[in-house]
């Protein structure tokens, strides 16, 4: 089978030697090295970064191992909020160990695995609350980006940019779409830290509508060659932090200890398979079918307890789908389903 067009074109750019030179800069800087990034412009500060005092959280000392890093960050980087239009609440995007809500502390404790730039000097990545729980950890995003080398990739629900940033290192063109202005600003900020903001085309808008518009143009024959998309990456909302129990019928309350706050108890053998119907904003099959009208090459980031039969049934008999388990520090975090030529092609 012939190589995908983008994979061929990228052979040089993506060679391990070249990639060695373009690794995320913040990830490789020792903590004592001052940042080489230019400070945010005045416009950015005024428009997006509004310093405010953190909301006090009555919590004991954080269990984080890297207290030293936090202390430095606290001095240099004050908690900031993104201003929304009048009447709406402001959204914090720059949490500290003190301001992160108790519900999100487990994600804060993993922050250097989510973005390695957290272990470097400020500026540090920005995440809103949904960003904290839905970002793809960096090592997993690197792995997915390796598999998705292409000429043009669309990250349809880019969130705070964890995947889009890594795609910028392996794909010629990245289109990152998100319907939340705060999250898209976080993604841009984070991409700037990694030195790839200008290598990503940012789209503020509804991802499903973006696909529909693209499909209309394609099927009408008005899509320009440069607008063609080779790979679609889908990492939609799974329904919040309680996604593991999404397959449970609301009429049959669980008899397990799911109400406990102990993180380990959320993953019990009794968690039923996660149904594709629980994905947002559309049923996972409807979203997939729509995206396959853009390109056959789709990578789908899904819950670790996703119903694999439903995933297998997304394709017609004879077509292969490959499920990659995404493990980090000995724990299964998620799975990625690869379709089209992204799936391993066995001879
Ligand atoms: P998790 O299960 O909430 O965390 O999410 P963890 O650390 O495994 O918690 P534990 O208590 O089970 O140990 C695991 C990973 O799933 C996250 O790091 C995200 O990459 C991904 N993820 C979680 N959610 C709720 C979403 C989501 O809504 N959308 C997407 N795209 N990814 C998510």
Residue to substitute in 112, 130, 134, 159 for testing ligand 1 pocket (most ligand atoms within 8 angstroms of CB): 134
Question: Residue 157 phi/psi, 5° resolution?
Answer: -130, 75
* Rounded percentage of the chain residues whose pLDDT exceeds 70: 67
What tokens appear for 96 in the block?
């500290």
Beta bridge partners of residue 274, listed in sequence order? 306
Which residue from 269, 311, 264 is spatially nearest to 287, judged by alpha carbons?
311
- pLDDT above 70 (res 286): yes
- pLDDT above 50 (res 79): no
Using a CB cutoff of 8 Å and minimum separation of 24, what contacts does 106-111 make? 106/263, 107/132, 107/133, 108/62, 108/64, 108/132, 109/62, 109/63, 109/64, 110/137
Rounded to a whole number of angstroms, the CA Rg of the chain reads 20
Residues 196-254 pLDDT 10s: 999 999 999 999 999 999 999 999 999 999 999 999 999 999 999 999 999 886 554 44
Query: Would you state the pLDDT for residue 31?
Result: 34
Q: How far is the CA of 37 from the centre of ligand 1 (A)?
A: 30
Element holding 176 (H helix, E strand): strand 171-178
Query: CB–CB of 229/291 below 8 Å?
Result: no
**DSSP assignment of 238-268:** -SSTTGGGTTS-TTS--SSSTTS--GGGGS-
Q: Which residues line ligand 1 (CB under 6 A)?
A: 106, 133-137, 235, 237-238, 241, 243, 263, 266-267, 301, 333-334
Question: Residue 102 phi/psi, 5° resolution?
Answer: -55, -35
Q: Out of 32-46, 118-132, 155-169, 256-270, which region has the weakest mean confidence (pLDDT)? A: 32-46
Q: Dihedral of CA 172/178/181/187: which sign?
A: negative
Query: Would you state the pLDDT for residue 344?
Result: 83
Which residue from 94, 97, 100 is spatially nearest to 80, judged by alpha carbons?
94
- pLDDT above 90 (res 274): yes
Query: Would you state the pLDDT for residue 61?
Result: 35
Higher pLDDT, 320 or 60: 320
Query: Would you state the pLDDT for residue 220?
Result: 96
What is the maximal distance between C-alpha atoms in the chain? 61
Query: Would you state the pLDDT for residue 40?
Result: 46
Q: How far is the CA of 106 from the centre of ligand 1 (A)?
A: 11
SS3 content of the chain, % helix, strand, coil (to 5): 40, 15, 45
Whether omega before 281 lies within 30 degrees of 0, making that bond cis, reads yes
Query: Would you state the pLDDT for residue 249?
Result: 65
- pLDDT above 60 (res 13): no
Higher pLDDT, 204 or 78: 204
Q: How far is the CA of 333 from the centre of ligand 1 (A)?
A: 6
What is the value of pTM for the model shown?
0.77
Residues 107-164 pLDDT 10s: 999 999 999 999 999 999 999 999 999 999 999 999 999 999 999 999 999 999 999 9
Contacts of 25 (CB under 8 A, 6+ apart): 36, 194, 195
- pLDDT above 50 (res 26): no
For residue 140, give the ligand 1 atom closest to its CA: 20
Mean pLDDT of the chain: 79
Atom 33 in ligand 1: residue holding the nearest Cα: 134
Atom 22 in ligand 1: residue holding the nearest Cα: 134
**DSSP assignment of 275-312:** PGGGSSSS-HHHHHHHHTTT-S-EEEEEETTB-HHHHH
Q: How far is the CA of 152 from the centre of ligand 1 (A)?
A: 27
């Amino acid at each position: 089978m012939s190589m995908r067009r983008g994979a061929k074109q990228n052979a040089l750019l993506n060679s391990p030697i070249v990639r060695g030179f373009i690794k995320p800069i913040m990830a490789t800087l020792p903590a004592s090295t001052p940042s080489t990034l230019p400070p945010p412009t005045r416009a950015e500060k005024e428009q997006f970064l509004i310093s405010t005092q953190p909301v006090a959280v009555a919590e004991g000392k954080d269990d984080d191992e890297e207290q030293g890093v936090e202390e430095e960050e606290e001095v240099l980087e004050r908690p900031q909020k993104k201003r929304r239009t009048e009447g709406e609440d402001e959204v914090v995007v720059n949490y500290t160990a003190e301001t992160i809500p108790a519900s999100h502390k487990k994600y804060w404790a993993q922050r250097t695995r989510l973005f390695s730039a957290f272990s470097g000097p400020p500026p540090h990545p920005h995440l809103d609350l949904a960003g904290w729980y839905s970002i793809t950890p960096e090592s997993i995003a690197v792995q997915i980006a390796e598999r998705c080398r292409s000429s043009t990739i669309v990250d349809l629900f880019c969130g705070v940019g964890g995947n889009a940033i890594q795609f910028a290192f392996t794909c010629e063109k990245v289109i990152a779409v998100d319907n939340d202005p705060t999250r898209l600003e976080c993604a841009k900020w984070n991409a700037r830290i990694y030195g790839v903001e200008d290598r990503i085309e940012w789209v503020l808008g509804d991802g499903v509508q973006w696909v529909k518009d693209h499909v209309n143009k394609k099927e009408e024959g008005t899509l320009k060659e440069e607008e063609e998309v080779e790979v679609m990456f889908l990492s939609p909302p799974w329904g919040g932090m309680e996604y593991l129990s999404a397959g449970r019928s609301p009429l049959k309350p669980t008899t397990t200890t799911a109400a406990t706050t102990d993180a380990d108890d959320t993953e019990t053998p009794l968690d039923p398979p996660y149904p594709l119907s629980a994905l947002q904003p559309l049923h996972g099959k409807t979203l997939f079918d729509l995206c396959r009208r853009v390109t056959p090459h789709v990578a789908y980031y899904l819950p670790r307890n996703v119903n694999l039969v439903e995933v297998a049934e997304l394709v017609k008999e004879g077509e292969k789908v490959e499920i990659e388990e995404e493990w980090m520090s000995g724990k299964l975090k998620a799975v990625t389903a690869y379709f089209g030529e992204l799936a391993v092609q066995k001879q």
